[in-house]
Structure 1
Amino acid sequence: MTNLPPITVSTVDLERLYRVLDDAPESVYATAVALENELARAQVVDPEDMPPDVVTMRSIVRFQIIPGGREFELTLCYPDEMDNNPHKVSVLAPVGAAILGLSAGQEIDWPAPGGGQVKVVVLGVTWQPERAGMIRL
């Protein structure tokens, strides 16, 4: 991954995500390593200082995957919050790790699940817990 865009993560998300990484199963090793690398380079801010257009944990985000150009609107979740809801994506899924910390309009090249690379473009943050006063561990 070259030309990485800047990312922003809240102190609350950072703390919990490091705990998630400690417990990550072997089956998501590659994504966990990529996520850990992203966290290491992130600008870290207090939740109340989070810009409203940044993808945080539990945000609802609109994004596009190229090639294909298909658009999605999903909630970025911790692994233990995943259920059968098709409108959620785990931060330990490749696209979930890719969008964390990006702002609307940013894009990142990211490893595709079957190999190769895809470009993930954040179109907007529909809802963010920091703005709704719903920050919780």
Structure 2
Amino acid sequence: MSKQPAIILSSLDYDRIDALLAKEKELSPVHEQLLLEMERATLVEPEAVPANVVTMHSKVRFKLKSSGKEFEKTLCYPQELATTSDGISIFAPVGAALIGLAVGQHIDWPMPGGQLDQVEIVELVDQPERKGEYHR
């Protein structure tokens, strides 16, 4: 895997994701990779999150290098998938890759089946923190 980009997490997102992971009886490979990302992240208060960084509940346009396809999804918690029409779970392989990246950054990430793909942030369509929503 190539050198991974720096990532930024809000302390609120970190605490909520950490609490969900603590409830898991057994960690999947996606959970373990997400934990590694969380450990290396720079933590900031929600009010200090840069406007170009993917946070929970952000709507993000991203591209997968292997296919060249672009997707637009809202990063959500697993329990919110049923009520988020364009949702992608933080516990899905691509969802875990998105958190903390800034527009223009990319990360090499393990996908189902074990192959690596490159996930690139194309645009941050919406971010709660940009709108002053710090506790969502």
Same-fold call, TM > 0.5? yes
Could you say which residue in structure 1 is the equivalent of 2:64? 65
Partner of 1:8: 8
CA distance in structure 1 between the partners assigned to 2:36 and 2:2 by the alignment: 13
- Once superposed, which parts of structure 1, at least 4 consecutive aligned residues long, lie more than 6 Å away? none
Partner of 2:112: 113
- Aligned CA distance change for structure 1 residues 52 and 117 (closer, same or farther; 3 Å): same
What is the TM-score with the length of structure 2 in the denominator? 0.94
AA partner of residue 4 (structure 1):
Q
**How big is each residue's C-alpha offset from its partner over 1:32-82, in whole Å with a ceiling of 9 and x where there is no partner?**
000000000000011111100000000000000011100001000011111
8 Å contact from structure 1 (residues 62, 72) kept in 2? yes
Matches within 5 A, 1:1-137: 1-24=1-24, 26=26, 29-83=28-82, 85-136=84-135
The 2-side partners of 1:90 and 1:63 are apart by 15
Q: How far apart are the structure 1 equivalents of 2:37 and 2:44?
A: 15
Alpha-carbon distance in 2 for matches of 1:57, 1:73: 14
In structure 1, distance between residues paired with 2:52 and 2:25: 31
**Taking structure 1 as the reference length, what is the TM-score of the superposition?**
0.93
Contact 2:4–2:107 under 8 Å retained in 1: yes
Structure 1: which 5+ residue stretches go unaligned?
none
Distance 1:116 1:81, change over 3 A: same
Contact 1:24/1:32, CA 8 A, preserved across alignment:
no
1:136 deviates by 2.3
**What is the CA RMSD across the aligned residues, in angstroms?**
1.5
Consecutive unaligned residues in structure 2, runs of 5 or more: none
What is the aligned-residue identity percentage?
Answer: 43
